[in-house]
Structure formats: C-alpha cells, structure tokens
C-alpha cells in the first residue's frame, strides 16, 4: 500500500489548527509550524458567528469549548458615538470565547490526534511546494488609499453591556465588545490613521475608550483592564482577495480578511479549513495531483466567500462616511433590515 503524502501547514491559528485536526481525523500525516506558543492572546473580536459553529461541532470541539467558558450570545447592538440601534437578536446565537482558550483547545486536540506541532518555530518561507498550506496570518499592507489600518484588543472587567455583542462606530474606526466568561469583556477595535498625520497616538486604553463623551466611553468608565491580555497588530489589508489570484494554497487570513465589523472572520477560517480537508486528503492518498487539489480548494473558497466578502467590503466602506453611518444606524432599528445585513455577510 502506498503511504499517504504529508501535508505541511504554516500557521497555527484557527484555519491552520482546524485544517490539521480535520486531516488527522482522516489519518493524513500533518506537520504544523507556529511561530508563537499556546496559550496566547490575539487581536480578535472573539465571536464565532455563522457556519463556523457547525465546523467546530463537526470537529467535536463545541462542547469542550462551552465547558471551558464559552458563552452563547443571542443579542447584538450597534452604536454611534451618541446614538444607538435597538437591540437585535443573533439568529443563530454566536459563541463568545477567548482566543487564549480556543487556540489552546485546538492545539491540544491536534496533538492528541497525532499531529506534529512545532511551536516557536518558523518554517522557511521558500518557493511554493507540493503539500504546503499557508495559514500564517495576514499579509502586511502598510498603506491603503492614504490610510494605515491597525487593531487593538484587551480584556476588561466591570464593563456593563446592553447586548452580549456590541459594536461602537466612530469616524476613525469601530470597537466591538463581547461578553466572555467570569465577568470579562473583550474590547477589540479596528482603527485607521492618515499617512499625513504625524501626531503621536494616545495610550491604548484611551484609544479603546473611543471618542470623549461617547456611549462607549461611558461603558468603559470604570473598566478594570487585564493588561497582559493587551495585543496589537498593524498593516492590515482589508480589501478582499480571491483565492484563485494566489499561486499557493492559502487559508484563513493568509488568503483574505473579511471586514471585522461583520464578526465573521473566525467562522471563515474554520469554514475554509473544512472545505480544504477532503481535497487535501485526496491529494495525500494520491487521488488528486497537487495543482488540481490546490485549484479546487481555491475555487471552493471563492464560491463560499465571494458574496459575503463583497457585501462586507461595501458595509465597511459605508461605516466611514458619516451620512451612511447614520443611515445604517437608523436602518438597524428594523429587525428585517438587520436580518438581511446579517445574512449577506454570512
């Protein structure tokens, strides 16, 4: 019997780990390289909403995720600096769980299935080769149309929420709050800064509090920050990319980012991994050539994500025009408009 060809994965985030778990469930030999270690904090909204929940359940990890502190969130609301939408239902509910815990859970599951995990190691980023999947995070884009995009995240206590997931909108960005376990709230924001601005930024806590006098500032007035949870990322590329545009097999943020305001990035990482598993397993068994497997993974990702990427990009751009932002907040008062926008970005 011909032995199975190995799959090598660069990057141990949601896409890389869930791909590795799925392949190991099919007895495919997998090596995974992760530059960091587990557990650790990442800039992330920490809300799993949409089809990704089904993927987590398929991998046998939804119940363990709930057991380690995951919370099901059923309500969400959008806010301007001083205006708000009515609270709306999340249907189906979303899972709120710290990436500190979720990534650790996935890494443990991958290892328990016999996956070979190399922490604190970088595999040389050589030329594209057979059986190599890149799930190693976002390609850096320093400037986009005169703006620099960056993200900040930290956990805080003593933060009263009106909905289990909140999104606060400002001219310079947006900040999401999500209710985690044990009274902890995740505070995660995406911000833009003009390349013409040379003024020093204030401290990260002040940036995450939003505009003075805003609803968000009132939410965080008595926040007790967990400073070890603070992390940041810069050079974010927010324009959608098609998988077929790459000459390599890419998944998760290494392929493309969905606008963070949708709360669908975690789901897309898990969904892409699920799409890739049967095709990469077929390559491993010698049933597909590598170019065929890679092309089919790219085409499947394009079909799965093209519509939501297009709509999320339009939604994201509208949020940075004051007139459109106000119109969206008004529209968000209508439950049927909310449901349509929710479906279009999932």
Q: Are 121 and 35 in contact (CB under 8 A)?
A: yes
Q: Are 279 and 288 in contact (CB under 8 A)?
A: yes
Q: What is the largest CA-CA distance in the chain?
A: 69
Residue 239 lies in a domain: no
DSSP E strands, 120-183: 132-134, 147-157, 165-170, 173-179
Q: Are 195 and 147 in contact (CB under 8 A)?
A: yes
Residue 121 lies in a domain: yes
H-run or E-run covering 275: helix 265-284
H-run or E-run covering 311: helix 290-318
- Choose among 266, 244, 243: nearest CA to 256: 243
CB 140: neighbour CB atoms within 10 A? 10
Residue 258 lies in a domain: yes
- Cα gap 287→105, rounded to integer Å: 32
Residue numbers of the domain that contains 53: 7-71+97-137+250-344
Residue 175 lies in a domain: no
What pLDDT shows up at residue 25? Answer: 96
Assign 160 to helix, strand or coil.
Answer: coil
CB 214: neighbour CB atoms within 10 A? 20
- Cα gap 203→139, rounded to integer Å: 26
Residue 107 lies in a domain: yes
Cis peptide before 39, with omega less than 30 degrees from 0? yes
Q: What is the DSSP letter of 213?
A: T
CA dihedral 60, 154, 71, 10 (to 10 degrees): -10
Assign 202 to helix, strand or coil.
Answer: coil
What pLDDT shows up at residue 162? Answer: 93
- Choose among 13, 14, 41: nearest CA to 225: 41
What pLDDT shows up at residue 1? Answer: 43
Residue 183 lies in a domain: no
Name the one residue in this structure whose structure tokens are 């943020």. 253
- Cα gap 305→328, rounded to integer Å: 23
Beta bridge partners of 166: 77, 177
Number of domains the chain is built from: 1
pLDDT (tens place) for every residue of the chain, 346 residues total: 457 899 999 999 999 999 999 999 999 999 999 988 899 999 999 999 989 999 999 999 999 999 999 999 999 998 988 887 778 888 889 999 999 999 999 999 999 999 999 998 877 666 668 999 998 876 667 777 788 889 999 999 999 999 999 999 988 889 999 999 999 999 999 998 888 877 777 899 999 999 999 999 999 999 999 999 999 998 777 777 766 566 788 888 877 788 888 889 999 999 999 999 999 999 999 999 999 999 999 999 999 999 999 998 888 888 887 777 777 777 667 777 778 888 888 8
Residue 176 lies in a domain: no
Which CATH number belongs to the domain containing residue 300 in this structure?
3.50.50.60
- Choose among 62, 34, 36, 35: nearest CA to 48: 62
Residue 29 lies in a domain: yes
What pLDDT shows up at residue 329? Answer: 73
What pLDDT shows up at residue 81? Answer: 83
**Helix (H) and strand (E) counts in the chain:** 10, 13
List of residues 6+ apart from 176 with CB closer than 8 A? 45, 47, 165, 166, 167, 168, 186, 187, 188, 189, 260, 261, 263
What pTM did the predictor assign? Answer: 0.91
């Amino acid at each position: 019997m011909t032995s199975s060809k190995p799959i090598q994965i660069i990057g141990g985030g949601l896409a890389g780990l869930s791909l590795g778990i799925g392949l190991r469930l099919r007895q495919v030999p997998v090596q995974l390289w992760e530059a960091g270690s587990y557990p650790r904090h990442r800039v992330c909204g920490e809300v799993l909403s949409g089809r990704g929940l089904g993927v987590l359940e398929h991998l046998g990890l939804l119940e363990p995720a709930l057991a380690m502190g995951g919370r099901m969130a059923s309500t969400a609301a959008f806010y301007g600096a001083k205006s708000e939408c009515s609270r709306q239902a999340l249907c189906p509910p979303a899972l709120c769980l710290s990436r500190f815990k979720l990534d650790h859970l996935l890494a443990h599951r991958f290892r328990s299935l016999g996956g070979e995990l190399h922490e604190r190691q970088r595999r040389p980023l050589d030329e594209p080769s057979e059986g190599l999947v890149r799930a190693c995070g976002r390609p850096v884009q320093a400037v986009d149309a005169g703006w620099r995009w960056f993200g900040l995240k930290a956990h805080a206590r003593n933060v009263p929420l009106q909905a289990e997931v909140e999104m606060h909108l400002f001219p310079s960005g947006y900040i999401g709050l999500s209710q985690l376990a044990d009274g902890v709230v995740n505070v995660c924001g995406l911000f833009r800064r003009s390349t013409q601005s040379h003024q020093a930024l204030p401290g990260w806590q002040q940036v995450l509090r939003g505009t003075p006098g805003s609803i968000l500032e009132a939410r965080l007035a008595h926040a007790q920050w967990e400073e070890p949870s603070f992390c940041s990322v810069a050079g974010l590329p927010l324009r959608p990319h098609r998988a077929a545009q790459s000459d390599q097999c890419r998944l998760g943020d290494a392929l493309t980012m969905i606008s963070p305001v949708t709360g669908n990035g975690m789901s897309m990482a898990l969904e892409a991994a699920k799409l890739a598993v049967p095709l990469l397993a077929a390559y491993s068994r010698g049933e597909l050539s590598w170019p065929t497997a890679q092309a089919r993974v790219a085409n499947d990702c394009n079909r799965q994500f093209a519509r939501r990427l297009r709509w999320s990009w339009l939604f994201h751009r509208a949020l940075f025009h004051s007139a459109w932002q106000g119109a969206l907040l008004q529209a968000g008062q209508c439950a049927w408009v909310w449901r349509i926008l929710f479906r279009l970005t999932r």
